[in-house]
Amino acid sequence: METPESDSVRDRLAIVRERVDAALRTAGRSPDDVTTIVVTKFHPASLVRELFHEGVRNVGESRHQEAELKVAELSDLDLTWHFVGQLQSKKARKVREYARVIHAVDRESLVASLGGAGNPVDVFLQVNLTDDPARGGVQPAEVGRLADRIESTPGLTLQGLMAVAPLDAEPRRSFALVRELSERLQREHPNAVNLSMGMSGDFEEAILEGATHLRIGTAITGNRPAIG
Ligand SMILES: *Cc1c(COP(=O)(O)O)cnc(C)c1O
């Protein structure tokens, strides 16, 4: 199906950029404080190339096989790849070959698999704001222990916390909780100042609560193609 010109990727990107800037102004924060990662999962490499031509440099993927193919196809572009999805330990070393940042680190076995010689990688520790372990992330009480483990693992640099706001809660409250957890974390890990939070439906609330890394997909890319 054709999308009308007024609803192009370029237009959506411009609108999201304006909304990000507006939320930053409301929050009294500097535009330099935030990195917008465009999540391109299920979209073809050609769309990533188009985004690159619109000035996008940070892209996010959540499935290894798909990401690996796109990275290879786009190796001529100076892109920073973020792995934002749940990651199986057995794929960790492969993902580390192309991803500069891994956003959903949530268990010691994954930390162990990611660590060691190779490209240094930045990691976010994912916090689970629900009671459902299938959502990924550690419970808030476990943050300190996993952070210690990440920091003591060669090759990994702890950037801060990552979270997905639960659907059944007010996003701003969820993000405020993450901010509190981050303040606590920074007492022991003063460099772990970043917050990866905010998606298409809630990035403004995330900015108001201090998000530094937004993971925005459909608001920019349009709906994801059906999985075939
Ligand atoms: C897909 C995905 C996003 C982007 O979601 P949208 O709602 O399309 O913006 C962000 N974070 C993670 C972990 C994702 O898997």
Which CATH number fits the domain that encloses residue 108?
Answer: 3.20.20.10
| d(CA 170, ligand 1 centre) in Å | 18
CA 62 to chain centre: 9
Residue 122 domain-assigned (yes or no): yes
Q: Which atom of ligand 1 is nearest to the CA of 103?
A: 13
In a domain, 156, yes or no: yes
CA distance 205 to 176: 9
CA-nearest residue, atom 6 of ligand 1: 217
For residue 63, tell me if it sits in a domain: yes
Residue 107 belongs to what domain range? 9-221
Q: Which protein residue's CA is at the shortest distance from atom 5 of ligand 1?
A: 217
Q: What is the pLDDT of residues 17-39, one digit of tens each?
A: 999 999 999 999 999 999 999 99
User: pLDDT tens across 100-144, in order?
Assistant: 999 999 999 999 999 988 889 999 999 999 999 999 999 999 999
Q: Find out whether 182 and 195 touch, Cβ atoms under 8 Å.
A: yes
Residue of 42, 199, 203 with the most ligand 1 atoms within 8 Å of its CB, for mutation: 199
Decide if 4 is inside a domain.
no
Q: What is the mean pLDDT of residues 56-83?
A: 98
Asked if the model's pLDDT at residue 2 lies above 70, the reply is no
Name residues whose C-beta falls within 8 Å of residue 134's C-beta, 6 or more positions apart in sequence.
none
Token pair for 51: 């985004």
pLDDT exceeds 50 at position 198? yes
198 CA to middle of ligand 1, Å?
9
pLDDT for residue 165:
97
Residue 124 lies in a domain: yes
Residue 23 lies in a domain: yes
> Which atom, in ligand 1's list, is nearest to the CA of 104?
13
**Residue 2 within any structural domain of the chain:** no
Pocket (CB within 6 angstroms of ligand 1): 39, 41, 62, 84-85, 164, 199-201, 215-219
Tell me: pLDDT of 220 over 50.
yes
Say how many domains are in the chain: 1
Rounded CA gap, 219 and 206, in Å?
Answer: 15
- Closest residue by Cα to atom 7, ligand 1, is 200
Mean pLDDT of 43-55: 98
Which residues partner with 60 through β-bridges? 39, 82
Mutate-to-test residue for ligand 1 from 62, 101, 205, 227, highest number of ligand atoms within 8 A of CB: 62
62 CA distance to ligand 1 middle (Å): 9
Report how far residue 37's alpha carbon sits from residue 206's, in angstroms, rounded to the nearest whole number: 14
pLDDT at 5 over 50: no
Whether 1 maps to a domain, the answer reads no
User: How many angstroms is it from 188 CA to the middle of ligand 1?
Assistant: 29
Nearest partner of 3 among 199, 220, 217, judged by Cα: 220
